[in-house]
A and B are shown apart, each in its own frame.
Chain A
Amino acid sequence: MKTTQELQTIARQVRRDILRMTTAAKSGHPGGSMGTTDWMTAMQFNIMHHNPEKFTMDGNGEDMLFVSQGHITPVIYSVMARRGFFPVSELSTFRMFGTRLQGHPSTEHGLPGIRMASGSLGQGLSVGIGAALGKKMTNDNHLVYTLHGDGELQEGQIWEAAMFAGAKKVDNLIATIDYNHQQIDGTVEQVMDLGNLKSKFESFLWTVVTIDNGNDMQQVLDGMEKAKSLTGKGKPVCVLLQSQMGYGVDFMQNTNKYHGSVLNEDDLKRALEQIPPTELGDY
């Protein structure tokens, strides 16, 4: 377990990684990655019970995480590396020819920590449900976590899955929504308003926890602990993580510009000035 301050330091380093990785690759998705950095760091270092050093595909006897919006690989890979799934130095290969760090997560390239390909949106909740049912069938009382973009909720399959999990009482499942209100073509409200998300999930027979500031490490830790405490009570748990796309660099926030575009070398320098180096060191 890390202290909140230690987690904040890791998150700062992860944000440096994200920006350096995407600029080096000249492609990738820094915005959503920066917004979910605090959540991902909290999950991998404190919230989840798992064994990064000895990764197993079946995840038997440990918590599992499925990131449904596969495009946020920069944060997925950086936090995984920092957590010990694979060498930090490998982050320099992100999206490069021959890498295990594919543009979107893949199992085919054998990267420890990835159990399912994602990228085509809307599928991770179903996968998480399957794993959660598998855990129930094998009497494994660990939890299954999923992460979704808010724009991703426009996919119909999400609601098939939400209906299933509520109706079938899949109560060992915590689905977190990265509620940053941004997607490629504009704000979520402009593109396809999600309405009242809390009441939507509640009417699908879920319990909903809201984290008001998804970029406040202490709030994330407290919110996820609360979510954990609500499992095993006959309902799946949804966490509405109110985050900011691009969090950590002022000119990347409050815009969807950096959803899928990256900083040039000059902007990277400007951005990194706002995220001072840590004792963990750059990759």
Chain B
Amino acid sequence: MQTQYVSGSAVSPPALGAVVASGPRQKVAESAMRILVIEDDREAAEYVLKGLRESGYTVDHAANGKDGLFLALSEPYDAMVVDRMLPGPDGLSIVESVRKSNITTPVLFLSALGEVEDRVAGLKAGGDDYLAKPYSFSELLARIEALLRRAGAQPENTFLKVGDLEMDLLARKVVRQGKRVYLHPREFRLLEYLMRHAGQVVTRTMLLENVWEYHFDPQTNVIDVHISRLRQKIDKPFDKPILETVRGAGYKLEL
């Protein structure tokens, strides 16, 4: 199940090969998803690789731009994690070349350059998401899972169904167990995002970025207040709560 590519002059840290995947998640049980991590910082790479493997993914690592580009173009991956600053071709040009070769694998940029213009440049080059260093591993994992899910999802579904919860995006209507639930516009968008990522951990930052479309640090967990309001409407009146808090990470809508 583990594959460690050593191509060209790339010398992967010896410790990495010894890492054995542990604690596989239920969703990966059928077929392990393959993820390419292009990151030159050895310690950061080790941390990401170990975490991803523990979460049940098959991970390849390239420590420079040249090897990264070679792997990205020659191997099929389900997702790529690319550092912006690399020796050899940098992250931006790697992703540009990958996109030119009609490879649509979702790409998550990692970058110490947290500035907005860097974010925009990354997304313009063909990245799908952008995570500024330093990040928490749970944030990285949640985003990778969102990317993997997105790659498989039908693009513009106008009807969403998660368990006994249904959302009609055209009629702007939410129904649970046959009972109509009335939501404010923001609550509606919040629930839509959670439903599109049902079964997956969604972090507060992801909600802020995708539901409110802001990239900033809201100090207090204002998002929690909005979630608790949503819960009042979709969970409280019903026997079984479906919006779960994942401690230390975020929220999850139960499948």
Do A and B pair up? The answer is no
